[in-house]
C-alpha cells in the first residue's frame, strides 16, 4: 500500500513498503517518484492523483529494487509528524506545543525512538496552524468572526451580533432564542476567568425551560457599562420580535448585584421583577464584614455570628415589615452591646442600611419571602460558570480556542432542550437543597398559620443561611 505524508518542509512524501520516495516529475499518465536517499534513487511510478488531497491507497504502476534496508525509523518519524499536522489541522485553535504534546502522549512505545523534537517541528506546525486559523486579534478593532466560526457544529447561524464599537459579540441560535421566549424565569451572570482577550467578561443568559435551567444566549463584553448590557438585551428583544412577532417578556430576572446589569434589565424589561441572588446578597454582607475586620470575632463569638446571620436572614421576612424590623433589630440591646464590643459591626449595619434599604438595592430586589428555590438564587448559573471555566481549562485563551469550546457548549444546551421535549427525567436536585427547601417551607407555613411569631420565624431562618467562615 502506498500513501502520502507531509515532509518536514511542507512537501509531500510517498511511503511504499517501508521506503520513502520524493516526487520527481509528473507526466500525462503517471507520477514519477524516486528514493529519497541520494545514493539510491530507486524509481517508482504511480497513477496520477491529487497530491494535496491524496487517497489512502495509491495505485503503484512500477517499483524498482533498493540497495539499502527499509527506512522504517524515518517512516515512523514521518508518520508521527503527519499525525501532529493532522491534529493541528483539526484543532487549529490550540498552540503548536500543545498539539505536539497531545500526539506524543498517544505514540506507541515501539515508535517513541522515532519522535522528532518539538524544535524540529515548530515551523511546520505553525505553518499548518496559520492556514486554518485567522489571526488572533490584539485589539477589539481587530476582531472579525467569519466563516465556520460564525456557525454551530450543526451549521446553524450562531453569531447573532458583532459590534466592535460597543465591544460586544452575541451568540445565540434561532432555536435557543425561541426557547428563551418560553421561559418565565431567566438568569443572567458573567465570568471573567476564561474570557479571551481583548474581551473582559463572558455573559450568559439562562432560562428555566420547563424543568431545567439551560443557557441560551452567550455574549462577550469589553466592559460592564449599562449601555453595553442594554445593547445586548435590546438586540435579543428585537431579534425575538422579528422571529415571533411577539415581545420577549420574562416574569422574573435573577442576577447578582451588578449595578449596570440590574439597571439595564430594569430599563429593557420593565414588566419583569428583578430578583437579586440571595447567595450574592449574603456574600456581599460577608465581604463587608471582612473589610471591617470582624472575621476573627465572627469565628470566635457565637452572639456575633447569630447577629450577622440574622441580618442576612432578614431577606426571608415579608417585604412590608423589612424596614421596620431592621430598625428594631439595630436598636435591640443585644445588637447595641455587640456594637460596643465590636465597633466594626456598627459600620456593617450602616453599610447594610445605606446599600440595601435606602440605596439602589431596595428590599424589593433582594427579598425572597415570595420566592422558591428556582428563583431564590443564581446558583444554577454559578455552577455553569464553574464547569465552563474547567472545560476551557486556561485563563484568557485565544478567541478561536474559546469559540470552539463555545460551540461544544451550544451543542450541550441543544441536547438538554431535546431531553426536555422527550420528557426525560430532569436532573435530581441534591439532597441538601431538597432538605433546605423543605425546612424553609415548613417554617414559612408555621409563620403564616400563626404557629410562630415573626421574631420566632426570623430566629429560625437564621439556620438556613449559607455558612461563611
The pLDDT of residue 63: 87
Per-residue pLDDT tens over the stretch 371-395? 877 788 888 888 899 999 999 988 9
Q: What is the dihedral of CA 92, 82, 42, 113, to 10 degrees?
A: 140
Average pLDDT over residues 57-73: 81
Q: Are residues 121 and 225 in the same domain?
A: no
Out of 81, 104, 132, a domain closes at 132
Q: Specify if 123 maps to a domain.
A: yes
Q: Specify if 177 maps to a domain.
A: yes
Q: Specify if 291 maps to a domain.
A: no
Q: Name the pLDDT band for 114 (thresholds 50, 70, 90).
A: low
Q: Are residues 111 and 224 in the same domain?
A: no
Distance CA 456, CA 104 (A): 65
Task: Report the CATH number at residue 55.
Answer: 2.20.25.240
Q: Are residues 304 and 441 in the same domain?
A: yes
Q: Are residues 318 and 355 in the same domain?
A: yes
- What is the percentage of the chain residues whose pLDDT exceeds 70? 96
Preceding amide of 198 cis, omega within 30: yes
The pLDDT of residue 113: 66
Q: Are residues 438 and 368 in the same domain?
A: yes
Q: Are residues 24 and 120 in the same domain?
A: no
Q: Specify if 333 maps to a domain.
A: yes
Per-residue pLDDT tens over the stretch 116-171? 777 777 777 777 777 778 888 999 999 999 988 999 999 999 999 999 999 999 99
Q: Are residues 82 and 188 in the same domain?
A: no
Question: Is the separation of the CB atoms in 28 and 40 below 8 Å?
Answer: no
What angle (nearest 5°) sits at the alpha carbon of residue 255, between those of residues 251 and 259? 115
Q: Say yes or no to pLDDT of 37 above 50.
A: yes
Q: Are residues 103 and 190 in the same domain?
A: no
Q: Name the pLDDT band for 402 (thresholds 50, 70, 90).
A: very high
Q: Say yes or no to pLDDT of 115 above 70.
A: yes
Q: Say yes or no to pLDDT of 249 above 90.
A: yes
Burial class (CB in 10 A: 0-12, 13-18, 19+), 356: buried
- What is the percentage of the chain residues whose pLDDT exceeds 90? 58
Q: Are residues 219 and 262 in the same domain?
A: yes
Number of separate domains in the chain? 4
Q: Name the pLDDT band for 211 (thresholds 50, 70, 90).
A: confident
Q: Are residues 312 and 458 in the same domain?
A: yes
Q: Specify if 403 maps to a domain.
A: no
Per-residue pLDDT tens over the stretch 88-109? 777 776 777 787 777 777 777 7
The pLDDT of residue 419: 94
Domain ranges, residue 49: 2-63
Distance CA 127, CA 131 (A): 7
What are the grid coordinates assigned to 112, written together? 517513541
Average pLDDT over residues 346-363: 91
Q: Say yes or no to pLDDT of 469 above 50.
A: no
- pTM of the predicted model as reported, rounded to 2 decimal places: 0.77
Question: Is the separation of the CB atoms in 438 and 429 below 8 Å?
Answer: no
Q: Specify if 345 maps to a domain.
A: yes
Q: Which helix (H) or strand (E) holds 205?
A: strand 201-209
Q: Specify if 401 maps to a domain.
A: no
Q: Name the pLDDT band for 467 (thresholds 50, 70, 90).
A: low
The residue with greater pLDDT, 257 or 68, is 257
Q: Specify if 289 maps to a domain.
A: no
Q: Say yes or no to pLDDT of 197 above 70.
A: yes
Return the minimum-mean-pLDDT range out of 40-49, 126-135, 343-352: 126-135
Average pLDDT over residues 310-321: 94
The pLDDT of residue 131: 75
Q: Are residues 32 and 57 in the same domain?
A: yes
Task: Report the CATH number at residue 195.
Answer: 3.30.420
Residues ≥6 apart with Cβ < 8 Å to 149:
134, 159, 400, 403
DSSP H helix total and E strand total for the chain? 18, 13
Q: Say yes or no to pLDDT of 446 above 50.
A: yes
The pLDDT of residue 65: 86
Q: Say yes or no to pLDDT of 206 above 90.
A: yes
Q: Are residues 54 and 99 in the same domain?
A: no
Out of 80, 107, 132, a domain closes at 132
Amino acid at each position: 500500500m502506498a500513501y502520502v505524508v507531509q515532509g518536514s518542509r511542507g512537501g509531500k512524501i510517498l511511503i511504499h513498503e517501508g521506503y520513502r520516495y520524493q516526487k520527481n516529475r509528473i507526466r500525462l499518465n503517471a507520477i514519477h517518484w524516486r528514493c529519497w536517499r541520494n545514493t539510491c534513487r530507486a524509481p517508482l511510478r504511480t497513477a496520477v492523483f491529487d497530491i494535496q488531497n491524496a487517497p489512502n491507497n495509491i495505485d503503484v504502476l512500477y517499483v524498482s529494487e533498493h540497495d539499502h534496508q527499509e527506512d522504517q525509523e524515518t517512516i515512523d518519524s514521518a508518520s508521527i509528524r503527519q499525525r501532529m499536522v493532522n491534529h493541528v489541522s483539526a484543532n487549529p485553535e490550540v498552540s503548536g506545543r500543545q498539539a505536539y504534546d497531545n500526539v506524543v502522549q498517544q505514540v506507541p512505545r515501539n515508535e517513541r525512538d522515532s519522535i522528532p523534537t518539538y524544535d524540529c517541528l515548530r515551523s511546520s506546525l505553525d505553518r499548518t496552524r496559520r492556514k486554518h486559523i485567522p489571526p488572533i486579534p490584539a485589539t477589539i478593532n481587530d476582531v472579525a468572526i467569519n466563516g465556520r466560526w460564525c456557525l454551530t457544529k450543526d451549521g446553524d447561524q450562531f453569531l447573532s451580533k458583532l459590534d466592535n464599537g460597543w465591544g460586544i459579540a452575541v451568540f445565540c441560535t434561532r432555536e435557543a432564542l425561541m426557547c428563551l421566549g418560553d421561559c418565565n424565569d431567566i438568569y443572567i451572570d458573567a465570568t471573567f476567568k476564561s474570557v479571551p482577550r481583548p474581551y473582559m467578561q463572558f455573559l450568559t443568559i439562562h432560562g428555566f425551560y420547563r424543568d431545567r435551567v439551560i443557557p441560551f444566549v452567550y455574549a462577550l463584553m469589553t466592559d460592564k457599562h449599562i449601555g453595553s448590557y442594554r445593547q445586548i438585551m435590546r438586540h435579543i428583544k428585537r431579534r425575538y420580535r422579528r422571529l415571533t412577532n411577539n415581545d420577549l417578556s420574562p416574569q422574573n430576572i435573577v442576577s447578582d448585584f451588578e449595578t449596570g446589569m440590574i439597571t439595564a434589565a430594569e430599563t429593557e424589561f420593565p414588566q419583569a421583577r428583578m430578583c437579586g441572588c440571595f447567595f450574592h446578597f449574603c456574600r456581599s454582607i460577608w465581604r463587608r464584614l471582612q473589610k471591617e475586620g470582624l472575621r476573627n470575632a465572627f469565628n470566635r463569638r457565637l452572639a456575633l455570628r447569630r447577629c450577622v446571620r440574622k441580618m442576612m436572614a432578614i431577606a426571608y421576612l415579608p417585604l412590608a415589615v423589612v424596614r421596620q424590623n431592621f430598625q428594631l433589630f439595630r436598636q435591640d440591646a443585644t445588637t447595641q452591646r455587640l456594637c460596643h464590643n465590636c465597633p466594626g459591626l456598627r459600620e456593617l449595619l450602616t453599610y447594610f442600611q445605606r446599600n440595601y434599604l435606602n440605596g439602589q438595592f431596595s428590599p424589593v430586589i433582594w427579598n425572597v419571602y415570595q420566592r422558591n428555590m428556582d428563583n431564590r438564587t443564581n446558583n444554577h448559573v454559578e455552577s455553569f460558570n464553574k464547569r465552563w471555566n474547567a472545560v476551557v481549562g486556561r485563563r484568557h485563551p485565544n478567541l478561536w480556542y474559546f469559540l470552539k469550546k463555545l460551540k461544544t457548549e451550544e451543542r450541550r444546551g441543544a441536547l438538554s432542550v431535546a431531553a426536555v421535549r422527550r420528557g426525560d427525567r430532569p436532573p435530581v436536585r441534591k439532597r441538601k437543597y431538597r432538605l433546605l427547601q423543605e425546612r424553609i417551607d415548613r417554617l414559612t407555613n408555621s409563620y403564616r398559620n400563626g404557629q410562630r411569631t415573626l421574631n420566632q420565624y426570623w430566629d429560625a431562618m437564621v439556620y438556613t443561611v449559607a455558612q461563611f467562615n
